[in-house]
Structure formats: structure tokens, C-alpha cells
Chain A
């Protein structure tokens, strides 16, 4: 069995002292920022990107992935204990989890969340190990037109699955691509959108853009209405589940895991969409739908399993195709590029240590999270008492030095300031900034494949529709757009996101 050989290789990489250490740091930091509302995985990973320069690629990626799935765990803790979701993906957990806590069953809810997440994380990691290599092999057969079509499909799908206006999201993607094209043109070396500034010759720095929009912009948004958080924490006791509980959560965890695993692969899916869909499915098929919202344990188990599974499988398109499905994956690609690794199907074959090492570390990391979270809940909760007005100036400081250290260039600091304002204005105008980031990362690749495809076809644009794989993908993209723009679907979609 090749997969076991590969996993053995992965564990031999992941179980070195150094990598276990970085995995631990990653999940610890992830839990920490998951617990703290107003600080998510995107700004944290962006802040840490510069620090990963000095690390070997495997350790860097192991740590950054740990932050991402660790945040899913941490977010649910606060959602259950104080009805304050630390992450957007744990919003649904708060509905029934907090009710359970009020009924004195906080321990059971936390245990359900942790066990559900652990099970889902393990299964999804296994799926990643099984499906990623064949997908990468398939992708190796792709020519430029197929790649172009695949990226278009990815971008369109991320728009269709996101909440809010489709047209605005599309506009954000296009704006992101345009920003991504800034800097020297790869073929001719002509500077583009640099305003004759030498500092901008390499284009807008990705870390500066990401930190501006998601770090600085987010801080301003949190400062909009400052109110004192009153933290009343119930005593957590009784982490053990009863037999009846276990019977009730088995189904939701299984369904959540598979739903989350599937939705995580789709661009724009990932953790948030998975948890929302899992909740509505559990509510629909439950024999006691009236209990939902009043402390149904199924309402915690399903979404928690789904968000962790989704977080895990969203690595599949990133590692096999080099296409990010959400902003966190876009940052991971940024981290790979910093390390001099070209993300894409070749990573699996040319960097087996990296690929299998990351996968194996996810198991270790998920296990650490269970151990880390259940006994240490008291400490995490105490962290919540750190008021935001103390916290945010420190975050600003970290962002500043983080972005400066990427290139030792002050222009990146100004870029971050500019995009902080831009990010805030966009959110105020109901324009989601996440598609902008995806467009920014994919933009240069999109242009390159378009130019190559046109060169091969001697300038004939029909090449995208005469090659079957590329035609199918563009057709799917078209279909997805038409479906979400249909008036009836549009209404349903709005309702679904409102729930």
C-alpha cells in the first residue's frame, strides 16, 4: 500500500522534535487567537509570515496550518461558554452550545465540540491523504487552457458560495486581479501600475495587502462600538458524556464530517459554509427540531465536526493545484512562494517530505488540540478578560514590524495603512474583501496561463471551448453564475445566509 509508505514518510518528518515543537506553537497560537474575538487566523498568519522565512519550509507550513485548524477549536470554546464566537465559523455553535452551558452542561458541550472536531479532523486528513495525490497527477496533464479554466471556475465558485451580492463579489475579484498584476510584467519586464516608483517594482506586497485589509481594517471595525465585555463564566464541570449523549452525537458528527469534507474542497467553502449547512441539515432531519436553539447537543456536534473537516480539506486544492480556496489558503501559498516552492501539482511528487509531513502533522496537531483544550479551558477563558482596548495597540505594533520585515521596506508599511482604510471602506459598502485577496493571489497565474494558452492556439480564443476539460470547467463556471443570479435562487440564497 503506497499510502501507508507515504504516511510513514510523513510521520518520520512530523515526529521530529523541531516539527512537533512548531506544530505545538501553531495549535497553541491558533487556539489563543480563536479564543480572542477580533483576531482571526488571517491577520495572525499574515503577521507570522515574515517570521517563517528563517524556518525550513515543512516547519513553517506545519506551524501555519496549526494556527488555522487550532483557531476552529478555540473559537468554539468561547462560543459555548460566553456566547461569543471567537471565529466566524463557530457562530452556529454558539446557538445551542451556549444554551447547553446555561443549563449547566457546558462540560458536555465542550467535550462534544472537541471530540467531534477531533474525529472530523482525522477523517478529513485521511481523505486529504487519499485524494490529493491522484488529483495532483490529473492536474499534471493540464495544459495552459485547462489551468486558466480551472482558475476561472475556482474564482467564480468562491464568489457564488460567498454571502452577499454576487456582482460586487465579482467586482472584488477583478479588482484583486488588477492589483495582483502590479509590478514588473513577467514576459517583458515592463513595470505596471508602479507610478514610476522603484519600490513598487515587485508589485503590491501580498502581506501588506492582507494585513491592511484583514488586520488594520478589522481593528477599526472592532473599535466602531466599544462596549465592555462582561464575562460571566459558568463553572465547567462534567466533561464526560453520558451514554445517551454519545448516541445522539454519533450521527451528526458523521454527517458533519462528510458534509464539511466536501464543502471544504470547494473554493469559497471551507469552515464557515460547512458549519452553517451542517446545522440546517441537523435541524431538518432531527426528530426534535423544536429543541434546536434550546440546547440540542446535535446542534453542537454537527457544525463543529463540519467546520473542522472543512478547514482540513480546504488544503486539497491548495496543495494539489496551487489554487487557494479561501484567504487563509492564499496566505499559505504566499508562505510557499516565500520559501521558493512553486505551489501546484508538482509539490506532491517533488516535495514528498513537505506534503506528507504536513498531513501527518495535522493528526498530531488535532490530537494535541484535544489534550490542550479540555484541561486548559480555565486559562483560555481567563484570557477573555483581557480587554480589547489593551490588545489592539499591540496588534497594530505587530502588524507594523511584521510587514516591514518582509522586505525591510517602508513602502510596505504605507501600503498596509492604505489598504487598512480601503478594507474598512469596502466593508462599510458591503463589499466583501475576501474575494479581493483570492483575485490578488490568482491574478498573475491567471494572466500567465491566458497568455500561454493564446500563444499555443495562435491567438484563437476558441481554444478554451474546443478542449473538453477546459470547456467543461468554463461551462460549470457559467452555470454556477447563472444559477446564483436567477431571481428565485437569489432569494433562497439570501434566506440561507440569514439563518
Chain B
């Protein structure tokens, strides 16, 4: 099977685009279509979803070949195993934790947590520098965003005795 795949990257992106197109089309189905003269909210999205699906199909097909290839082009491999899963996961987690914590915990703790979690994404993690970075960022964001710009954010949220 894989012999007919000339470029896994193209096939994967084509597949992804078609999937996204289907998703948007499915979401747009519930919207009133209207007619060309007075387009409803669903008219233009539906056209775009169709166009996206068509483009995705082209990308998908260009990645396939009828003439079986012996060897794959190295540059076209996706190389999932070599993806930086730890950094990707840690940085994303740090951002999500910030979002979860900002209301109940306040700016200080959630900023500290987010910065600390991101330092874990690097292979050069050291506890002392990580704690130092977090502390500096907490102090800095307090000085700039709360004192300087006057953002309506509590340093400590209601869970920690703030308001």
C-alpha cells in the first residue's frame, strides 16, 4: 500500500484539509442558506467548505502515484517519531493551565505555574533557573500589567483568599 504513497506529507495534509472541509460543511448545514440575491449566513461558508474540500483532494492526489516507488523521498516523510512531543505537550499544557488558573488562582500563581511548566519543555531544564524565571516573570507581570497598565486582574484569586 505505502508504495503508492509518493509523499506522506501531501497525503496527510490533503486528508486533513478534506476532513476540515467536511467539518465546516457539517456545521454550516444547520445555517440558513438563503439565495444568491440575499445570501443567508450559511451560503458563503458552504461555498468555501466545498472549495476547501476540492483543494484538499488535489493535495491528497498529488501525494499519490500509480507507479509504485521503491524508496520514499526523505524530505516528504512526516517523521512523527522525531516530533518534539515533550516540548509540544509541555508548552500547550502551560498555556492551558494559565487559562484554567487565571480566574480562581489569580495572576501570580497561574503565571508562575505557566512559566515553570514551560521551562520543563527544554532539555536544559534546571530547577534553580526555572524557579528564578518564574519568580521574575511573576514580579514583572505584577509591575507592568497590574501596577503599570492597571489591568483588572487580582494577583491572588478567590481560591487563595483574594477577591
Contacts and interface: CB of A to CB of B under 8 A. Distances in A.
Interface of A: 51, 54, 165, 167-168, 170-171, 174-175, 177-178, 181, 185, 187-188, 190, 192-193, 216, 219-220, 223-224, 226, 387, 389-390, 392-394, 396-397, 399-401, 404-405, 408, 410-411, 413-414, 416-417, 420-421, 424-425, 428-431, 447, 450-451, 454-455, 458-459, 461
Contact of B114 (A219, A223, A396, A408): A396
Given A396-B94, A429-B13, A167 B48 contact: no
Contact of A397 (B31, B118, B151): B118
A404 B103 CA distance: 11
Contacts of B59: 165, 167-168, 171
Given A178-B24, A393-B137, A410-B103, A223 B37 contact: no
Contacts of B41: 185, 187-188, 190, 192
Contacts of B39: 450-451, 454
A178 B88 contact: no
Given A174-B51, A396-B115, A396-B118, A168 B13 contact: yes
26 contacts: A51-B149, A54-B149, A167-B58, A167-B62, A171-B55, A181-B44, A192-B42, A193-B27, A216-B91, A219-B91, A220-B121, A223-B84, A389-B119, A393-B115, A393-B121, A393-B133, A394-B115, A396-B95, A400-B94, A401-B98, A410-B99, A451-B38, A451-B44, A459-B35, A459-B36, A461-B36
B11 to A, nearest CB: 10
A168 B58 CA distance: 9
A397 B118 CA distance: 9
Given A404-B98, A410-B102, A428-B78, A397 B137 contact: yes
Interface string B114-157: 11101101111100011001101100010001000101110000
A396 B120 CA distance: 12
Contacts of A387: 124
A39 to B, nearest CB: 14
A421 B55 contact: no
A180 to B, nearest CB: 10
A454 B37 CA distance: 5
What are the 10 closest A-B residue pairs judged by CB atoms, nearest first? A459-B37, A413-B99, A185-B41, A223-B87, A393-B118, A389-B122, A417-B95, A459-B36, A171-B55, A429-B13
Contacts of A193: 24, 27-28, 45
Nearest to B96: A417
Contacts of A389: 119, 122-125
B27 to A, nearest CB: 5
A413 B95 contact: yes
B146 to A, nearest CB: 10
Contact of B152 (A393, A408, A416, A421): A408
B55 A397 contact: no
B12 interface: yes
Interface in B1-42: 9, 12-13, 16-17, 20, 24, 27-28, 31-32, 35-42
A405 B151 contact: yes
A455 B98 contact: no
B114 A397 contact: yes
B48 A177 contact: yes
B117 to A, nearest CB: 8
A220 B84 contact: yes
B56 interface: yes
Contact of B13 (A177, A188, A430): A430
Nearest to A448: B44
Contacts of B62: 167
Given A394-B133, A428-B78, A174 B55 contact: yes
Given A51-B149, A429-B13, A450-B44, A390 B95 contact: no
B45 A188 contact: no
Nearest to A194: B27
B12 A447 contact: no
Given A416-B95, A429-B9, 13 more contacts: A178-B45, A188-B41, A219-B91, A393-B133, A396-B118, A397-B115, A405-B153, A411-B99, A429-B12, A450-B39, A454-B37, A458-B37, A459-B36
Contacts of B137: 393-394, 397
Contacts of A167: 55, 58-59, 62
A411 B119 CA distance: 23
B123 A413 contact: no
Contact of B122 (A51, A392, A397, A450): A392
Nearest to B111: A397
Contact of A220 (B58, B87, B119): B87
Contacts of A175: 17, 20, 52
B91 A396 contact: yes
Nearest to A417: B95
B56 A171 contact: yes
Given A216-B95, A392-B122, A401-B107, A421 B9 contact: no
Nearest to B88: A220
A318 B44 CA distance: 25
A15 B130 CA distance: 43
A93 B34 CA distance: 54
B69 interface: no
B140 to A, nearest CB: 8
Nearest to A51: B149
Given A175-B17, A220-B88, A399-B95, A428 B124 contact: no
A400 B114 contact: yes
B100 interface: yes
A404 B102 CA distance: 9
A404 B99 contact: yes
B92 A188 contact: no
B118 A224 contact: no
B97 to A, nearest CB: 9
Contacts of B149: 51, 54
A181 to B, nearest CB: 6
Contacts of B32: 188, 190
A177 B44 CA distance: 10
